[in-house]
Structure 1
Amino acid sequence: MLRQITYSTTRFGIYEELKSRVAPTSDRAPSLVTLVGMASASGFIGGIAGNPADVMNVRMQHDASLPPAQRRNYRNAIQGIIQMTRTEGFGSLFRGVWPNSTRAILMTASQLASYDTFKRLCIEKAGMSDNLSTHFTASFMAGFVATTVCSPVDVIKTRIMTASHAEGGGQTIIGLLRDICRKEGLGWTFRGWVPSFIRLGPHTIATFLFLEEHKKLYRKLKGI
């Protein structure tokens, strides 16, 4: 919840605000390139805002796979952030911020921009109405695209965030990539794609279905 409050709220909010500012200046809907640009900027800022919570999210999920002596045993996200800051310094909150921000850019561009594009194609090319079926179709395809685009970055991000200093937490991204490719080949890029899609697919569908209904309700209440 902390991650979604900081990360998703930031990226969705900035993206929708940018779209509302661009749309009145053009007679046509924003192009795919414009949507990708706005989504990339939104994702980058959201990735930075949500990085501390994301580190906690990854570490707390990873804890169960560690031997009892090596577990961090954070009681909750807030306590974990405080403990990590005390023991590893403030900079530890932004461990993996660059791959995380890169992932946020790819996620937001592939998720939000592709959803708007698929939705427009469904309405303009397939003759579908702006209804729940269209939103479901567009969000399902957006989830597929987002999972495929983000899979390699997810692997790198998780390995950096779960590492401690003793395990090579200070290793550069280039060094980590070199080691992974040497040990595992190129197959690592889509390792875990299926469980990622099982998680991200329904998440993307639910997100956009609720977002569309929320926007309809908001516009009705505001008389827009």
Structure 2
Amino acid sequence: MSSLSAGHTAHPASTFLGLTSEHSASSAPPCASPSESAQAGSWRSQRVLPPTLQSDGTLSQPVKHKVHLQTQQEVKMRMTGMALRVIRTDGFLALYNGLSASLCRQMTYSLTRFAIYETARDRLSQGPQGPLPFYQKVLLGAAGGFTGGFVGTPADMVNVSYSHALDGMYRVLREEGLKKLFSGATMASSRGALVTVGQLSCYDQAKQLVLTTGFLSDNIFTHFLASFIAGGCATFLCQPMDVLKTRLMNSQGEYRGVVHCAVETARLGPLAFYKGFVPAAIRLVPHTVLTFVFLEQLRKYFGIKVLA
């Protein structure tokens, strides 16, 4: 419930951030020679990237709406300008295109990762040892996120060209088979592990540290502060993978794979892995804050105690 509410609220940012690709994503990174560019056309005509490389893998994103600021050497249209353009041309509700796919993903990906992480954490926390050490929380978060990413792959690959998410998954299953629904699951699962470590593991640890200071009690401000920190950690951890995924998606065949893409991106400097960091944080931090604020309120009213 908390993830669904947060995903719905953060969805407009997901939508208009991705539309910046129309202005600049068509230009490939400057690392291919003319001969390589010629080969790229042939290569691309024979190879199609897995659908999940063309989607977010994060929390509440439709396939076509992603942060393509990551591929730009120069930003030609800012977020606010793009948002206003979308509203003027297509109306306010266009900011919510792909909402059904986003909600479907929350009900698979987030449900799985939260269930695995919290169930395992609560069981391991029972006894005299008290809260888990941070490294164990990281391992649990990675395991839960990896599994959740795999389970959420079908919803992750369904784009807004279908009437709704279930229609898209049914048509893909009928026309291309079960294997197609899970293409790109490795990338989605890896990103799910990073996001879950940043969100769940870091939230629990940040909340524990805040409470041990003695300055704050277990109240909504503590939840806000801990979730804000967790959102920043999640953005920092998964942004390099998002950059690589977006570059691969928009490439003209100049990359031989993920490793080659990482090497070429590294040549632009360390900050190249964090292009589009601010827009990503604007989306992911509020999403994380809302998720945990709602979750903590549900815990409070249902009488659930957390030992971690």
Aligned residue number for residue 131 of structure 1: 219
Give the number of the structure with larger relative contact order, counting CA–CA contacts within 8 Å between residues 6 or more apart: 2
Q: Residue deviations 1:137-179, cap 9 Å, x none? A: 000011011111111112334566x67xxx76xx643354456
For 1:195 and 1:44, how far apart are their aligned partners in 2?
A: 24
For 1:179 and 1:87, how far apart are their aligned partners in 2?
A: 36
Q: 2:291 aligns with which of 198, 207, 219?
A: 207
Q: What letter matches 1:83 in structure 2?
A: R
Aligned residue number for residue 138 of structure 2: 36
Runs of 4+ in structure 1 deviating by more than 6 angstroms, as ranges, are none
Worse overlay, 120-129 or 90-99: 90-99
Q: How many residues align?
A: 201
Q: 1:27 aligns with which of 129, 137, 145?
A: 129
Unaligned stretches of 5+ residues in structure 1: 61-72
Q: Please tell me the root mean square deviation across aligned C-alpha atoms, in Å.
A: 2.5
- Please tell me whether the aligned partners of residues 96 and 157 of structure 1 are also in contact (alpha carbons under 8 angstroms): no
Unaligned stretches of 5+ residues in structure 2: 1-102
Q: What letter matches 1:173 in structure 2?
A: V
For 2:269 and 2:167, how far apart are their aligned partners in 1?
A: 38
- Please tell me whether the aligned partners of residues 100 and 157 of structure 1 are also in contact (alpha carbons under 8 angstroms): no
TM-score for both structures, normalised by structure 2: 0.59
Shift of 1:215: 1.1
The answer to whether structure 1 residue 105 and structure 2 residue 105 are counterparts is no
For 2:126 and 2:194, how far apart are their aligned partners in 1?
A: 26
Q: Residue deviations 1:74-94, cap 9 Å, x none? A: 221112223333444432222
Shift of 1:186: 5.1
Q: 2:274 aligns with which of 175, 190, 205?
A: 190
Identity of aligned residues (%): 40
Aligned residue number for residue 150 of structure 2: 48
Aligned residue number for residue 154 of structure 1: 242
- Please tell me whether the aligned partners of residues 81 and 93 of structure 1 are also in contact (alpha carbons under 8 angstroms): yes
- Please tell me whether the aligned partners of residues 23 and 29 of structure 1 are also in contact (alpha carbons under 8 angstroms): yes
Worse overlay, 24-33 or 193-202: 24-33
The answer to whether structure 1 residue 173 and structure 2 residue 261 are counterparts is no
TM-score for both structures, normalised by structure 1: 0.79
Q: What letter matches 1:213 in structure 2?
A: Q
Q: Residue deviations 1:114-139, cap 9 Å, x none? A: 11111111110252100001000000
- Which protein is richer in helix relative to its size? 1
For 1:41 and 1:90, how far apart are their aligned partners in 2?
A: 24
